[in-house]
C-alpha cells in the first residue's frame, strides 16, 4: 500500500512512522509512506499556506490553491509511475465517524492520500477533492496530522504481513463487534492475583469459549451499545443473563 500525507508539518510523522509496526511495514515493503510539505506548492517568499477568513473571525484558514496544485502533481506522478490513483482522505469534526468498518474499508485501497488541516480549518473548496471525510470523535485536535496518524496506524495493522501473528488482527477489539478478551502472561501468580486456570489448561476449545465469554462480558460491562450489532446465540443470551443475575 502507498500512503501519502500532505501537510504543513510533515516532520510530525518521523517518530510514528519510524517506530514499531509502521517501521516494520516499510522495511518489509508492505507500506510505501511519503510525507509531503504543503509549502512546496506555495509561490511567495514566505511560503504561505493560510490566510484570514472571509467574513472575519478568529484564526487562520488554510488556502485551497496549494492543496489543489499538490494534488494535481501527486496524481500526475502516480500516472507517470503507473501507480493507482490516490483515494483522498480529509480529517474533520463533521466527517464520518472513524470505526472498525471504516478501517476494513480503507485497507482495501492500494493508495491513500491524507490532506491534513491545521489552524482554524481548510478552505471549503478543497473538500471537493475528498473521497472520505473522517472524524475520530466529538472533539477538536490541533492538527489533521495527529488524526491521520491514528487512521494510518489502524489501517496498516490490517495489511497482510504487518503483524507478527497470522491472525493477530482478527481477535482484536471491534473486529467481531465485541471488545477483546483479557490477556495474561508470566508469572502465573503475582501479588495474590492468579491467571485463570482455563488459560493454563491446554484445552484450546475451553480457552476459546472462555475468551469469547469474556469478550461478551466486557462488552456488556463497558460498551453495551455494541451488543445491538452482534448476532447472539441462545447460549450467549443465557450467559449474559447469568451476569445480570449475579
Tell me the whole-structure pTM to 2 decimals.
0.88
- 144 strand-pairing partners: none
pLDDT in tens, 213-231: 999 999 999 999 999 999 9
pLDDT of 65 strictly over 80: yes
What is the 8-class DSSP label of residue 230? S
Q: Alpha carbon of 35 to those of 2, 61, 70, 134, 181: distances in Å?
A: 11, 21, 12, 19, 36
Give the residue with greater pLDDT, 168 vs 188.
188
Could you tell me the pLDDT band of residue 188, with boundaries at 50, 70 and 90?
A: very high
Q: Which CATH architecture has domain 189-244?
A: Orthogonal Bundle (1.10)
Quick one: cell of 109?
485501497
Residue 170: is its pLDDT beyond 80?
no
Cell of 7: 501537510
Neighbours of 91 (CB within 10 A): 25
Say if residue 227 is exposed, middle or buried (CB neighbours under 10 Å; 0-12, 13-18, 19+).
middle
Helix (H/G/I), strand (E/B), else coil: 194: strand
- The residues spanned by each domain of the chain are 2-156, 189-244
CATH code linked to domain 2-156: 3.40.1280.10
Residue 67 and residue 38: Cα distance in Å, rounded?
Answer: 7
Confidence check: pLDDT of 13 > 60 = yes
Amino acid at each position: 500500500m502507498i500512503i501519502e500525507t500532505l501537510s504543513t508539518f510533515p516532520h510530525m510523522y518521523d517518530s510514528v512512522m519510524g517506530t514499531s509496526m509502521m517501521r516494520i511495514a516499510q522495511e518489509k515493503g508492505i507500506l510505501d509512506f511519503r510525507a509531503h510539505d504543503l509549502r512546496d506548492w506555495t509561490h511567495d517568499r514566505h511560503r504561505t499556506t493560510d490566510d484570514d477568513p472571509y467574513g472575519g473571525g478568529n484564526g487562520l484558514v488554510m488556502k485551497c490553491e496549494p492543496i489543489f496544485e499538490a494534488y494535481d502533481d501527486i496524481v500526475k506522478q502516480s500516472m507517470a509511475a503507473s501507480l493507482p490513483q490516490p483515494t483522498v482522505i480529509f480529517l474533520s469534526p463533521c466527517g464520518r465517524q472513524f470505526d472498525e468498518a471504516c478501517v476494513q474499508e480503507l485497507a482495501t485501497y492500494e493508495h491513500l492520500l491524507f490532506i491534513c488541516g491545521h489552524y482554524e480549518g481548510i478552505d471549503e473548496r478543497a473538500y471537493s477533492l475528498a473521497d472520505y471525510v473522517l472524524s475520530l470523535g466529538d472533539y477538536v485536535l490541533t492538527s489533521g496530522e495527529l488524526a491521520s496518524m491514528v487512521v494510518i496506524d489502524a489501517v496498516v495493522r490490517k495489511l497482510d504481513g504487518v503483524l507478527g501473528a497470522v491472525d493477530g488482527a482478527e481477535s482484536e477489539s471491534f473486529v467481531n463487534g465485541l471488545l477483546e478478551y483479557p490477556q495474561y502472561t508470566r508469572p502465573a501468580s503475582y501479588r495474590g492475583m492468579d491467571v485463570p486456570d482455563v488459560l493454563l489448561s491446554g484445552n484450546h476449545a475451553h480457552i476459546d469459549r472462555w475468551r469469547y465469554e469474556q469478550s461478551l462480558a466486557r462488552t456488556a460491562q463497558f460498551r453495551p451499545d455494541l451488543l445491538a450489532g452482534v448476532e447472539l446465540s441462545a447460549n450467549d443470551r443465557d450467559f449474559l443473563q447469568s451476569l445480570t443475575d449475579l
